[in-house]
Structure 1
């Protein structure tokens, strides 16, 4: 633009002289045009700068939009996974609760069975105390862990060093037999104990032989009293399970004893538990 004005002025000067006034007007016009050009250039530069900034902001917004879309998709996927996991968790929890209920029911059934056994055990103790007579210091009746123990002193059953049962012992064993016969689902294990004094009277060799022989002697008396032999067990313990130290005559007398253990038949007890399990399985189906 400036070059065109200068060319115009040159042409005018070339073809004729201009007045000072015209020259001044032309010069003023040139300055005005130059100012407009400068202003336009500044505005153009500002617009270009604003355009670059706007473009940068646009790119930033596009990136943010892409991030937001990705985050939104991730949240949707996560929600779906959580929904699936929550459903699986709920199913697993429900199964666990059902399993716990089943176990509680089994425990309750088994506890009922044990309570019934304990009730029978207490009834046996009551019958024995009534039949045998608890006031006899040579006879002890007690319950340990659901098992009934009848402990009879050696002097009540046998003469010293003998395995032949005395007449008084037969009277006591007759009362015990009556109680055992009333409980056909129970077993009676006869456990004979000696002291630690060495023993040897042919054909018996030692305290093992003596304790076993005494146990079988008591078993035979009970069998004669019509106790079912399938309910009877003979066991000799020698001197290896003493009540007290074998250090005095009094203590040795305490250790010489015969103990009758009345307990439920193990196979029948397990059969009862197995039957309960079958009942539970049937109810579950």
Structure 2
């Protein structure tokens, strides 16, 4: 019985041992499987961490790029705004210059119209006289009335002939009808020397003749003296050669110069320039709206 019991115990222990060994093997396999999975998880974790870091770097780069783009956009907006303002100022300046040129042209046209009307009035009033006695012409926008010496004076004299006063009366009427003009009376001689008890030279003779004409215009035809200037030019501004009698006859003359009132003309121009500036600003504001 003792022997049989020992055998039974021996058989039972062997079975338990085999079972324990089998369980150990199974546990080892499970451990190996878990280890493999753990290693795989650790590897995946490292890869994920690397991707995370890469994404963080990418996000940082995108933030920097976005910030740079925003800054550039701000600069572009600033540049665009400044450029727009500069363009507006340039366009306004161009409009102003165009309007100023137009205003100046209008002023010149108006002045030319006044000059043409004056010439027409003078020629109409003096039209019955011969060209060799009196001539009306325009040079560089200035009106000149040239009266021959033989019509006005005797040789070497500053006394006006009575028949010449008819001519001066017609000139005076035109001058009186146009208060916006002034005149300068110029005396001209030829280059032949003169020396008399009354006149020492051609300067004295030409000045005396110019003064005589202004005095007649004032005293006999009521031309305001403040509108007249008397000037002696002697023989220094000839219109013909003094080498011939015919030429000297042309040079002996009295010339009435119609003086434009430049202050009025420039006032008109200045007013036009100011209006052009204001109109350019208004036009710019209208275009903005």
The equivalent residue for 1:140 is: 135
Q: 2:217 aligns with which of 222, 226, 248?
A: 222
Q: 1:90 aligns with which of 60, 84, 88?
A: 84
The equivalent residue for 1:152 is: 147
Deviation at 1:275, TM superposition (A): 4.0
The equivalent residue for 1:246 is: 242
1:180 aligns with 2:175: yes
**Aligned 8 A contact 2:187 2:255 in 1:** yes
Deviation at 1:141, TM superposition (A): 0.8
Residue deviations 1:89-148 (CA, integer Å, cap 9, x gap): 221121121122223223322322222221111111111111111643221111122211
Q: 1:114 aligns with which of 104, 108, 114?
A: 108
Deviation at 1:268, TM superposition (A): 2.7
Deviation at 1:251, TM superposition (A): 1.0
> How far, CA to CA, are the matches of 2:215 and 2:98 in structure 1?
45
**Aligned 8 A contact 2:203 2:232 in 1:** yes
The equivalent residue for 1:23 is: none
1:237 aligns with 2:233: yes
> How far, CA to CA, are the matches of 1:106 and 1:142 in structure 2?
30
Aligned residues: 225
> How far, CA to CA, are the matches of 2:63 and 2:233 in structure 1?
85
Residue deviations 1:24-66 (CA, integer Å, cap 9, x gap): xxxxxxxxxxxxxxxxxxxxxxxxxxxxxxxxxxxxxx9xx98
Deviation at 1:80, TM superposition (A): 4.1
Deviation at 1:204, TM superposition (A): 2.2
Of 133-142 and 266-275, deviating more is 266-275
Structure showing greater relative contact order (alpha-carbon pairs closer than 8 Å, 6 or more residues apart): 2
Q: 2:120 aligns with which of 119, 126, 133?
A: 126
Q: 1:168 aligns with which of 160, 163, 172?
A: 163
- In structure 2, stretches of 5+ residues that fail to align are 1-56, 283-289
> How far, CA to CA, are the matches of 1:124 and 1:83 in structure 2?
61
> How far, CA to CA, are the matches of 1:259 and 1:147 in structure 2?
12
The equivalent residue for 2:252 is: 256
Deviation at 1:218, TM superposition (A): 0.7
Change (3 A) 1:135 1:75: farther
Give the RMSD, CA atoms, in angstroms. 3.0
- In the superposition, the TM-score normalised over structure 2's length comes to 0.68
